[in-house]
Structure 1
Amino acid sequence: MSGWVSIVGLGPGRETLVTPEVREVIDQATDIIGYIPYVKRIAPREGLTLHATDNRVEMDRATHALSIAQQGARVVVVSSGDPGVFAMASAVFEALEAQPQFADVPITVHPGITAMLAAAAAAGAPLGHDFCTINLSDNLKPWEMIAHRLRMASRADFAMAFYNPRSKSRPHQFGQALEILREECGQDRLITFARNVSHADQTLNTVTLGEATEEMADMRTVVLVGNSATRCVGPYVYTPRSAS
């Protein structure tokens, strides 16, 4: 039996946001590989092996998927959100590039709804015009690069979405990010904190940059910053499509 690897996105959390295509691929799998909380979202069944691993072993996880697929397993690598957005799709292709012995393994990528898009939908349409997405974690890139990208994106007047804004191991960097944003965008720019997007305890908090504090974000928060034209209409935040 020929094996394969499918890399899928489980969406931001609510099961109704998992696409039918992803559900179909999971139903065909013999093995599920991923970070512990994401693997826990997959219902056990006969003939399915669940391989849950820690968050910082992406390359080991990717190599394992390719290895057992080459032996005939139908492997689904699970990520939250979309697998191509700060997730496992890149890791699998990086492992493939480093280990050409797996070149014969068929690989497919199946998109999912990102936390960024779910947060934007809950708020209204803050990403309605040109936007960029930045991961604020410095685990895989230096803080100096993050700070530079924040400044350049601000000067280009992009709306912005931030992943991994603040953790226990780096509690002060988000405060530095806010200072950069205030320097480049001013005090009145709108910023939305969306926590536990799509879950029952989801919260949304939209304030100005002048009102924002670093304690408003944690690792379960997606942060959305508007561009110079972003504004509120009633309880909603939106960026006009005609914004320059």
Structure 2
Amino acid sequence: MTSSAPRPISLITGASRGIGAACVQQLQQAGHQLILVARDTTALQTLAMPDDLVISADLTDESQILACFRQVQQHFGRLDHLVNAAGMMQDSALALTKSANLAAHFQLNVTATFLCCQLASRLMLRQKCGNIVTFGSKVGENGSSGQAAYCASKAAVSGMSKALAKELGPQGIRVNVVAPGFIDTTLTAHYNAEQRAQLTSQTALRRLGTAADVAAVVGFLCSDAAGYITGQVLAVDGGLVL
């Protein structure tokens, strides 16, 4: 009698809410064993299945990222998928954007993603296979007025991910970018009804996106069906035109 294949081990950052939480549900349904990472331990424990690993970590602190991956190594000894869902977005006109705001965007959206990719790839290189999903944005590709800091950070994620796809591909590791349009989550809760109506009118499907819409694409990228896809920026935007 042959043994069944081991369950995929997948780490999701920013797993406590929004798109990250939707990715948790998507991958749980697909049978993955998860490592849930965020600052809100209570929310993570609510989402976690009994055999999932919950790690409380502030990803703006490099030492906490290192500690997180040490736990993964000790607990599982391997990693199959990394989903970098943690991120921040603060709207600000160029004239009013402080350097601290720009630095904060890059610290979480870019540096934390880079470090997670670096540490995850070290585990994946041992098994000569793996999959990394990063998060760009529609505005990171096309730009958006009043979001220069956020757009710059997301454009950096796209460029970094394409480079990693080329570097890690020969070792069997795929790297792709998911670029959402306007997604109705707590991150965009400050948008008023008029702004939402305008964005809806600019979207071909005439509705705003949901976290589940994005998680479905992440689920696809974390499946064997996406085994020949790497170095791509996949827009999940309903046909949004900015």
Same fold? TM cut 0.5: no
Larger strand proportion of the pair: 1
Larger helix proportion of the pair: 2
Return the index of the structure with the highest Cα Rg: 1
TM-score by length of 1: 0.37
